[in-house]
Amino acid sequence: MTTIDRVVGAGVDRIDGPAKVRGTAPYAYEQDPGEPIAHLAVVQSTVNRGRVTRLDPARAEAMTGVLTVLTPDNAPRLAEGLASDLPVLQSLDVAYQGQVVAAVVAETSEIARAAVGAVLVEYAAEEPDVVLSADRQDLYAPEQVNAGFATDSIIGDVDQALGAAAVTVDATYETPTQHNNPIEMHTSMARWDGDSLTMWDANQGPHTIVNDLAKGFGLDRGQVRVISPYVGGAFGSKAFTHPNQMLAAMAARVVARTVVFELSRQQMFSLVGHRTPTIQRVRLGADADGRLTAISHEVVEHTARIMEFAEQTATPTRLMYAAENRRTTHRLARLDVPPPTIMRAPGETPGMFALESAMDELAAALGMDPIELRIRNEPAQDPERHVPWSSRHLVECLRTGAERFGWAGRDLRPRKRTEGRWLVGTGVASATYPTRRRRAQCRISVDGRGRYTVEIDGSDIGTGAWTALSQIAADALATDLGSIELHIGDSRLPRAGGAGGSTGLASWGSAIVLTARDLRRRLDDEYGGQLPADGVSVDGGVEGEGPHAKTHSMHAFGAHLVEVRVDQDTGEVRVPRATSVYDGGTIVNAKTARSQFLGGFSMGVSMALHEESLIDPRLGHYVNHDLAGYHVATNADIGELDISWLDEPDELANELGLKGIGEIGITGAAAAVANAYWHATGLRVRDLPITPDKYFRELDLA
C-alpha cells in the first residue's frame, strides 16, 4: 500500500459543507418517504398539576382535512416501564404545564394547528409548586447523580478546617433554568410497513431512540429503524427520546400514513428538557499563602415530579484543586416542572461557574493574582480518587493564556480602569470536562480498486463528525480522504453510542482505528498486502472504557481570560476580547475544533449575560418561551476570540489520544466573564445572568 500523508490534525473543510450550503442535505423534516405526508400538532396542558376532567375533540374531528384526534381514550397503548414523559396520552393525569393531552393528525400542518384550538379541554387543577429554594424541608439526596457519579463525597473534617483557616470564602451562587435552543427544532417523521417502523428523526444517536420505540410498541429492535444523517444542533436536548418520537409513531400507526411532527420553538420549552436551576453554596478555606485547606460545595437543584434527573453539578470540584478536607453534596426538590435533561457540559457548566467564582473571591481576599492562586493549588494527582492523571496541563493553559492575553501587570484592585463611560476589567477561570470512551462497533469494507466504506452509527449534530471520522479512517487505513466513503446516522449500521458527553469522536474514532488495524492485518495475512478483486469486509470496535480508565483520572482542561466593559450609566456589559487555551489531547480537525471551542465559549458568554428561563410562580409556565424573550448571544455580543490549544496527545485515554472538545469550551466561561465584571465594577453578581439591572442593584447594596 502507498504511504499517504496524515490528515488527522489538518484543517480539512467540512465534507458535508457543500450539500448543506446547497440545501441538498436532508434533515428530518425534509425526508421524502415516497408518499403524501400527514402532519401532527398537539394540544398541551395549561396547568402544571391535576387531571383532565373533560376532553371533547368533536369540533376538531369535524374539520375538513383532519384525519384523527388522538386522546388518552383512543391512543395506542404503550408498554409499561417507559421512562419519564414517554408514556404520552396514556393517562388523564397532568404532571407539568405543556404536557401533551391530545394530538391532531391532518393533511397539512396549517389544518392540524388550527384544529388544536378546536379541542375542548377542562381540568381539575392543583396549586403548582415550581419555586426552588435552599431552605425547603422536602429536599432529598438522590441515590446518584447523572453519569453515575456518587451523590456526595466527604474527605477529612471540612468544618474544622474552615474554622481554622486564615482566609475563608462563604458565598452562594445561583444559575437559572436554561433551555437548549438548537436551530433545528425537534422533528420526527414516522412510517409503518406492517409491523416495522421507520423513523427519520433529529437526534444525537439513533440506537438510543430505537430502544425506547421498540420497548414502547412491543417490537424487536430489528423491527425499528431510525435514520438521522443530518442534525441541526442539539446541545444535549436530542440525546434521549422525547414525546415527539412516540407521538409520531403512534399517529402513523393510527392513520396508516407517514406522519411528521415538528415542534414549534415555543414547544421546545416544555417537551424536550432543560438545564435545572441551581443554588450552590461554596466555602473555601486557605492559609495565608493561598494554599487551600478546605473545599465545600453544596448544591440544591430541582427535578420533575414524574422523573428524577440529578445534574452532577459539584463533580468538577472533586478534582480541580488540592485540599486535604473536601465535601461535595447534591440535594433535589421535586417540582411540578417538565423533566430536566442534559445541556452542554451538564454539571460542569453550572458547577464551574460557582467554583471558579469562589476561587476569584478567595484571590481577592488574599490580595493574590487569581492565576497564581490556581497554580499554587494544582494537585499532583486526582485529589479524591488518589490516582495519577492520564495527563493534565491546566497550568500550561493558564500560563499560555496569560501570555497571549497580556495578563502581566494587571492591577489586582477592582474598578481602577476606565475608558470614557466604560469600566474595564479582566478575569480568568479554569475549564474542565471528563474524558470517556463508550462501546462502539464498526464495519470497514474495501473493494478491489481501493475504495473503503466505513460504517458506524455515529451522529453529526453539526460538530463536524462527517469530516473528522473520514480523516481518522483515512489515516488508519493509510489512504487518502477521497478513498473513504463514510456511512453514519442510521440504526441499521453497526451500533455505537450517541453524540454527547464529549465521547463521540473518542468512541467512534477508536472503533474505526481498531477495525482498520484488523482489516489491514487481514489483508497482510490472507492476501499478501494486496486488495482482492471481490473485496473484503471486517467488523470490529471497542468495548467501552480502556484499560487505564480505572487506574488514571482522565479529563480535558483549559483556561479562559476575558476582558469585560460595563457602561457606568446603563449597566450594559460588553465582552470585547477573550483568550481561551485548551488541553484537549489530539485535535483531529483544526478547523472544526476551533469552531467547537469558539461555540462553547460563546455559549458561556450567553450564559453569563443573557440566558434565563423565567417561570411564573403563580401559573407555573415559562413566560419567555421563544427566542424573542429567551435571549442568547449573537455575533454582535462576541468580540475578538483568541482560540488555541496545546499539542499534547493523551496516550492513555484512547487509541487517538484525544480528550473530547465539545463540552469544555463552555465550562468556566461564565465565571471568567463574572470575574472580569467584578474587576471592572467592584460588584460581585452571584446570580446569573448578569443583566444591567443587577449593576444598579449591587450599587445600592455596596
Query: Rg of the chain's alpha carbons, rounded to an integer?
Result: 26
Secondary structure of 8-48 as H, E, C letters: CCCCCCCCCHHHHHHCCCCCHHHCCCCCCEEEEEEEECCCC
Residue 110: C-alpha distances to residues 59, 107, 141, 167 (Å):
16, 9, 46, 64
All cell numbers assigned to 431: 475549564
User: What is the distance between the alpha carbons of residues 702 and 187, in angstroms, rounded to a whole number?
Assistant: 49
User: What is the distance between the alpha carbons of residues 554 and 433, in angstroms, rounded to a whole number?
Assistant: 9
Pairing of strands 258-262, 37-44: parallel
Q: How many CA atoms lie within 13 A of 203 on its CB side?
A: 30
Would you call 295 helix, strand, or coil by DSSP? strand
Q: How many CA atoms lie within 13 A of 443 on its CB side?
A: 12
**Using an 8 Å Cβ cutoff, are 196 and 223 in contact?**
yes
**Using an 8 Å Cβ cutoff, are 341 and 309 in contact?**
yes
H or E element that contains 67:
strand 66-70
Q: Strand runs (DSSP E) across 82-166, as ranges?
A: 93-94, 100-106, 120-125, 144-145, 149-150, 153-155
For the annotated catalytic residues, the residue numbers are 663
All cell numbers assigned to 108: 397539512
User: What is the distance between the alpha carbons of residues 60 and 256, in angstroms, rounded to a whole number?
Assistant: 20
Contacts of 580 (CB under 8 A, 6+ apart): 401, 431, 558, 559, 560, 561, 597, 601, 641, 642, 643, 644, 665, 669
All cell numbers assigned to 630: 429567551
Rounded to the nearest 10 degrees, what angle do helices 504-527 and 465-476 cross at? 30
All cell numbers assigned to 298: 453544596
What secondary structure letter does DSSP report for 477?
T
What secondary structure does DSSP assign to 392-405, as a single string? --HHHHHHHHHHHH
Residue 617: C-alpha distances to residues 136, 180, 329 (Å):
15, 22, 27
Secondary structure of 664-700 as H, E, C letters: CCCCCHHHHHHHHHHHHHCCCCCECCCCHHHHHHHHH
Count the neighbouring beta carbons within 10 Å of the beta carbon of residue 152: 15
Residue 49: C-alpha distances to residues 98, 126, 131, 187 (Å):
11, 5, 14, 27
Four-point Cα dihedral 599, 602, 603, 609, nearest 10: -170
Contacts of 274 (CB under 8 A, 6+ apart): 177, 178, 179, 180, 338, 340, 341, 343, 613
